[in-house]
Copies of this chain bind each other. A is one copy, B any other.
Amino acid sequence: MATRSRRTPRRTEALSRERIVEAAVELLDSAGESGLTFRALTERLATGPGAIYWHVANKGELLGAATDAVVAAAVAGAGAGAAAQAEAAAGDAAEAGAEAAAAEPGEDTAAAEDGAEVSVGVVSPQDRIRSVALGLFDAIEDHPWLATQLATQLSRSPWGPVTPRIFESVGRQVRALGVPEDGWFTATSALVHYVLGAAGQNAVNTAHGSGLGPGVDRAAFLDAASTAWEQLDPDDYPFTRAVAAQVREHDDREQFLAGIDLVLAGITAVVAAHTAAPGQE
């Protein structure tokens, strides 16, 4: 009666936390939120649960690490080369972890000029904020599970690595915008909250699933939502019915940026009022 015996030979490549997180992101991307199971993970990594638990405390920590990796890549891609826009957010986006904060040497010094028009090579703080926001927006589009995870991670442990990452990249531009110091937290919070709220909402059905392009499912989805809103009770939902048509036709990205501009307009308006008549609210 032999107790237990070794059957499969050991893997050649060593297991590491990075490899695990990378595999987790891939699983989440391909199979959705419910696709990330320790069983699928052990199969993909050709190992057992015990090996994974040696590197990772539990599933929650794994989800947190996956979220952080993707967010780090997103804000790094957007924060660094503002001209390159958010194209860097595409791809697998993992394994970026540490390098993210190393970007942005001493920029944001040539900023804070006017606000609207931008000449070649000079990027306004507004544009940088838009760039960071779009980076997150695209990251959520590429990794639909990120929306829920961001909400969960941020509300469960805002002291984690994710919040400061976003806060920092937005806050620097808020500072460059000329906002007085006692308004930094308020203005940055408002921007970050809008971005997270909006990005979360738009996480639906970019649909890399079917063979069709993302736009097709997206259009179908918007059509369904719009139709549903049009069929609401006219007495209870007059406004919602009135905007249903706008829902069907709107472009996510434009809409998202329009919201950013709205918040930015509010910030600059409040700043202007503050500098004109200081000491007031």
**Contact surface of A with B, Cβ cutoff 8 Å:** 101-102, 147-148, 150-152, 154-159, 164, 167-168, 171-172, 175, 181-182, 184-190, 192-198, 200-201, 203-204, 224-225, 228-229, 232-233, 235-240, 242-243, 246-247, 250, 255, 258-259, 261-267, 269-270
Contacts and interface: CB of A to CB of B under 8 A. Distances in A.
Contact of A262 (B152, B187, B255): B187
A198 B204 contact: no
B240 A201 contact: no
A198 B200 contact: no
Contact of A188 (B195, B201, B243, B261): B243
Contact of A164 (B154, B240, B265): B240
Given A167-B240, A184-B246, A243-B185, A203 B263 contact: no
25 contacts: A101-B233, A151-B152, A151-B200, A155-B200, A155-B201, A155-B204, A158-B201, A159-B224, A164-B229, A164-B240, A167-B240, A168-B237, A172-B239, A182-B246, A184-B242, A186-B262, A187-B262, A189-B255, A194-B263, A195-B197, A196-B197, A261-B266, A262-B263, A263-B263, A263-B266
Contacts of A269: 265-266, 269
Question: Which 4 residue pairs of A and B lie closest in terms of their CB atoms, listed nearest first?
Answer: A197-B197, A266-B266, A151-B151, A193-B197
Contacts of A148: 148, 151-152, 155
